[in-house]
Amino acid sequence: MKISNARLANGNLVNIEITDGLISKVDKATADKVAEGIDAKSKLLIPGLVDLHTHLREPGREDAETVLTGSRSAVAGGFTAVSAMANTNPVADNAGVVEQIYRLGKSAGLVDVNPIGAVTKGLLGEQLTEMGAMADSIARVRIFSDDGKCVFDPLIMRRALEYVKTFNGIIAQHAQEPRLTVNAQMNEGIISARIGLPGWPAIAEEAIIARDILLAEHVQSRLHICHVTTAGGVELIRWAKQRGIQVTAEVTPHHLLLTDELVENYDPIYKVNPPLRTQRDVQALREGLAEGVIDIVATDHAPHPSEDKDCEFQAGAFGMVGLETALSVVVKTMIETKLMSWSDLIDRMSIAPARIAGYTNQGNEIAVGNSANLILIDVDRNWQVDRDKLKSKSKNTPFNGMKLPSVVTDVFHHGEHVLQDSQVINKNSNINE
Cα(174)–Cα(157) distance, integer angstroms: 12
Same-domain check for residues 34 and 102 = no
> What integer pLDDT is reported at residue 30 of this predicted model?
80
Helix (H, G, I), strand (E, B) or coil at 224: strand
Whether 125 shows a pLDDT value over 60: the answer reads: yes
Same-domain check for residues 312 and 226 = yes
Same-domain check for residues 109 and 255 = yes
> What integer pLDDT is reported at residue 23 of this predicted model?
97
Rounded to 5°, angle at Cα 271 from 266 and 273: 155
CATH of residue 64's domain is: 3.20.20.140
Mean pLDDT of 219-227: 98
Same-domain check for residues 272 and 154 = yes
Same-domain check for residues 66 and 32 = no
pTM to 2 decimal places: 0.96
Cα(132)–Cα(95) distance, integer angstroms: 9
Cα(247)–Cα(240) distance, integer angstroms: 7
Same-domain check for residues 64 and 17 = no
Number of structural domains in the chain: 2
Within a domain: residue 134?
yes
Same-domain check for residues 225 and 351 = yes
> What integer pLDDT is reported at residue 293 of this predicted model?
98
Pick from 357, 382, 415: which residue ends a domain? 357
Half-sphere exposure of 44 (CA within 13 A, CB side): 21
Same-domain check for residues 244 and 193 = yes
> What integer pLDDT is reported at residue 227 of this predicted model?
98
CATH of residue 22's domain is: 2.30.40.10
Chain segment 85-105, per-residue pLDDT in tens: 999 999 999 999 999 999 999
Within a domain: residue 429?
no
Residue among 233, 274, 278 nearest 252 (CA): 274
Percentage of the chain with pLDDT > 70?
98
Whether 282 shows a pLDDT value over 70: the answer reads: yes
Percentage of the chain with pLDDT > 90?
96
Within a domain: residue 430?
no
Pick from 357, 392, 407: which residue ends a domain? 357
Cα(382)–Cα(5) distance, integer angstroms: 21
* Beta carbons within 8 Å of 255's beta carbon, 6+ residues apart: 227, 228, 229, 274, 276, 277, 281, 282, 285
Pick from 301, 333, 357: which residue ends a domain? 357
Q: 34 falls in which pLDDT band (50, 70, 90)?
A: confident
Within a domain: residue 386?
yes
Tell me the residue range of the domain where 84 lies: 47-357
Same-domain check for residues 41 and 56 = no
Within a domain: residue 120?
yes
- In the DSSP assignment, the letter for residue 347 is I
**How many CB atoms are closer than 10 A to CB 31?**
12
Q: At what angle do helices 154-164 and 202-219 cross, to 10 degrees?
A: 50
Cα(81)–Cα(68) distance, integer angstroms: 13
Angstrom CA distances, 316 to 195, 270, 336, stand at 16, 10, 33
Mean pLDDT of 2-15: 95
Check if the beta carbon of residue 223 is closer than 8 Å to that of residue 152.
no
Residue among 118, 127, 124, 176 nearest 150 (CA): 176
Q: Which has the minimum average pLDDT: 38-42, 110-114, 115-119, 231-235?
A: 38-42
Same-domain check for residues 70 and 148 = yes
Cross-strand pairs, 410? 376
Chain segment 406-415, per-residue pLDDT in tens: 999 999 999 9
Within a domain: residue 116?
yes
Q: 32 falls in which pLDDT band (50, 70, 90)?
A: confident
Q: How many helices (H) and strands (E) does the chain have?
A: 12, 19
Whether 433 shows a pLDDT value over 60: the answer reads: no
> What integer pLDDT is reported at residue 430 of this predicted model?
40
Check if the beta carbon of residue 413 is closer than 8 Å to that of residue 374.
no
Q: Is 431 exposed, middle or buried (0-12, 13-18, 19+ CB in 10 A)?
A: exposed
In degrees and rounded to multiples of 5, residue 197 shows phi and psi of -100, 140
> What integer pLDDT is reported at residue 428 of this predicted model?
55
* Active-site residue identified among 39, 51, 212, 300: 300
Residue among 148, 123, 119 nearest 131 (CA): 119
Told to judge if 63 belongs to the known catalytic residues of this protein, a careful annotator would answer no
Same-domain check for residues 81 and 121 = yes
Within a domain: residue 416?
yes
> What integer pLDDT is reported at residue 14 of this predicted model?
95
Same-domain check for residues 29 and 58 = no
Check if the beta carbon of residue 252 is closer than 8 Å to that of residue 298.
yes
Q: What letters, b where the CB count within 10 A reaches 16 and e where it falls short, cover 194-212?
A: eeebebbbbebbbbbbbbb
Element (H, E) at 249: strand 247-251
Residue among 348, 258, 363 nearest 294 (CA): 348
> What integer pLDDT is reported at residue 429 of this predicted model?
40
Within a domain: residue 420?
yes
> What integer pLDDT is reported at residue 432 of this predicted model?
43
Whether 366 shows a pLDDT value over 90: the answer reads: yes
